[in-house]
Structure 1
Amino acid sequence: IGADGANSAVRKAMGVQYLSWNYDQMGVVATLNLAEWKQYPRSSSVEAVTSWTSSWLRRVGLPDGTSRQLPPSICSIAANSRAAFPLAFGHSTRYIAPGVALVG
């Protein structure tokens, strides 16, 4: 089973053609310390979300426009956690062969 990404040695050993292109954009990631978070156990990924009670929303109302951020907000960014990576698309022309499967 090959789960070794865009530069897959397993895919190369299979001799499978790989079609790709770059979006000329960067993705940015960081570890954020939030005022409040919730993880959904049925989700396939780790998600941090903000949540509020309906009584809080009734009391403070919703802000106008997009320039205001609803709390809870980002308290800080963890040291040395920021990273950037190029966004690209890639697709193998085959994902299975006798005794081999590409999964990621």
Structure 2
Amino acid sequence: MAPILGAGPTKFGKWVDPKVISAGDFLRIENAATKIKQPITVVGSRARGEAKSFSDWDYVIEGLTHKEQKSLKNSLPGSKSLLDITPRNIDIFEKLDPTKPYITINP
């Protein structure tokens, strides 16, 4: 199966449906990608457009150091809010499976 929304230079409103990733979430991911100067790929139920309110966020970031990962976990959608004590709903993987749906967001 090919990526449902494409990969490459993704810009909100061009390839990413706001029902799949909101404008605010897209901006947070794009800012995080800019921070580490490399693309961040959303995978799993979010990329398929099947996420529910309780669904976690799954990302693929290749070559990410442990220090960068700790820094990004607070920047990406799904991270714990300072206002409430909710657990982090983020999984970061190192390899992309191109046979499954994904959305790549560039810096």
Instruction: Give the TM-score category using the shorter length.
Output: under 0.3
Higher strand share: 1
**Rg: which structure is higher?**
1
Give the TM-score taking structure 1 as reference length: 0.21
Higher helix share: 2
